[in-house]
Structure 1
Amino acid sequence: MTGRRILLINPNSNEATTAMMVAIARSAAADGFDIAGATATRAPTMIVSADELEAAAPEVEEIARARSGECDGMIVAAFGDPGLAGIKVTTKLPAVGIGESSMLEAAENGRRFGVATTTPLLKAKIDALPDALVLRSHYTGTRFAEGDPHELMRDPSLLRTALAGAVEACIAQDGAEAVIIGGGPLGEAAGALQPIFTVPVIAPIPSAVRRIIRLVAA
């Protein structure tokens, strides 16, 4: 079990976001596992629309193919899991996405779960994930933080407050028994929100780390 390496691919072209997500992933990793990061260069610094998400997939797959010899497993660290299906087809390595991983964890023990995030233009893509995972009956829907996604990302305090409102709506209005913070760049906010609520607040990067470690170890 020593010397295993997981490659975290950031489909957003933001090195600082990659460093933040790698740090979160390392804190969640088991002993004997290291996390390396790779950052897209052709995508926006923050993917906020369905078109941007789809456009990111080919580069994610290219990174995976180019770096597959350096790792034992891969994480796609954008909530829509762009390129994940292609990676699973073209590489023999275990690969997970933060979207699928967090939804599988949120639905454990039959829980109903919602998603709180900042990107309303990704609603259709997020709504499609529970269908693909056969979790539609558990999914209570997605609530969006009030405010422009880019503006929220520039102000961590404002981001946490806005996301907290979305989490509260998932619980109080939709009946969610667990709430996922839907986005890799929202990783730090997810950690900060977890102690505030009595229902589980699922941080997708640690979810993906736990899942890929199980797959690699198997």
Structure 2
Amino acid sequence: MDVPDLETIKEWMGEYFHEHAGEFATALGLARAIRALRSSGRRAQGSRSERARGPRSVVLINANGSAAATETMTELARRTLRPEDGFFVHGVTAADGPRPSGASVDPRAAVPQVLAAALRARPDTTDAFVVSDFGDQAATELRAVLRVPVVGMGEAALLEASSARFGVAAGTPGLAESIAARIDALGLASRCTGIRVAGDGAEALVPDPGELRARWATAVTQCVDQDGARTVIVAGGEVAEGAGESLAVPLICPVAAACRRVRSLLG
């Protein structure tokens, strides 16, 4: 076997780096974000004990890159973590995160952006984080470096629903895949009756409230009548409110479930 000379090896290395530059950049950014968050996490405990007791600060991180979705989720969160109860909820958007669509998305695609968003939100002055993504992207990494509660929206909703046989109404096929993976990861497949999709792609996110409500209502009804669900997770936020008003089963909003979990952890 011929041994390549040094120049050939350099050429091969250059080609490999060029082909995988995005992966290297992501890994480098992820490492930097984790180091910065770890440093902030070490400072957090002392700074919280030193400042006067005031509203408890909760940061909601939207992983999908949509500022409009962040605003909607934040308003939903404030209905559970209310200012009059001593909570302040601030929503931040993971820059360049994957936008909502009907297509499948790498379940880890937004991890570096979520970590960076947490760093921008000043972890040293934050009492809890909510990762507002059903795949709970970066929740594990944040828990490893921060000394405050980090609640994943998907995990909170699924665990709350798992006391009964539950179904899930999802907005798009891509989201349904992410939800199925999270159910398997939490060991809840035997409790889930199935996932129903409210549309066949990105058009499920159309802004017509009447059409959206009708699609969600159909998906929720299928979960109950055809699959036998005793409770349904409606992974669609505000647009799905009232989707199952005529059904005698509880509906779970993932954002609200995550906020209930935060409230119980903070006391």
2:255 corresponds to 1:214: no
Shift of 1:17: 1.5
Match for residue 70 of structure 1? 125
TM-score normalised per structure 1: 0.89
Q: Is 1:13–2:68 an aligned residue pair?
A: no
**Aligned residue type for 2:66:** N
* Whole-Å separation in 1 of the counterparts to 2:205 and 2:68: 16
- What are structure 2's unaligned runs of at least 5 residues? 1-52
Sort the Cα spacing of 1:194 and 1:129 in 2 relative to 1 into closer, same or farther, 3 A. Answer: same
- Shift in Å, 1:43: 1.7
Structure 2 residue aligned with 1:33: 87
Equivalent in the alignment of 1:145: 198
Q: Distance in 2 between matches of 1:179 and 1:15?
A: 27
CA distance in 2, matches of 1:48, 1:77: 18
Aligned to 2:241: 191
* Partner residue of 2:169 out of 116, 132, 153: 116
Select which of 127, 136, 144 maps to 2:189.
Answer: 136
Is the alpha carbon distance of 1:191 and 1:164 closer, same or farther for their aligned partners in structure 2, counting shifts above 3 Å? same
Is the counterpart of residue 56 in structure 1 residue 110 in structure 2?
Answer: yes
Give SS of 1:146's match. coil
Can you list the C-alpha shifts for 1:153-199, whole angstroms capped at 9, x where unaligned? 322221111111111111111111011012xxx21123232533211
Q: Are the counterparts in 1 of residues 194 and 223 from structure 2 also a CA contact under 8 Å? A: yes
Match of 1:204 in 2: 254
RMSD: 1.9
1:84 and 2:131 correspond: no
Q: Check whether the contact 1:65–1:90 (CA below 8 A) recurs between aligned residues.
A: no
Q: Which moved more, 1:51-60 or 1:76-85?
A: 51-60
- Equivalent pairs, count: 212
Give deviations 1:99-146, integer Å, cap 9, x for gaps.
1111111122xx000110122123332112223223222111211113
Q: Aligned partners of 1:72 and 1:187: how far apart in 2?
A: 24
CA deviations 1:42-92 (Å, max 9, x no partner) are 023325544354211221122123421231001111212111111111222
Is 1:102 matched up with 2:154? no
Q: CA deviation at 1:2?
A: 4.1
One-letter amino acid of the counterpart of residue 86, structure 2: G
Could you tell me which residue of structure 1 aligns to residue 97 of structure 2?
43
**Structure 1 gap segments, 5+ residues each:** none
Choose between structure 1 and 2 for higher RCO, CA contacts under 8 A separated by at least 6 residues: 1
Give the whole-Å Cα distance in 1 for the aligned partners of 2:201 and 2:264: 37
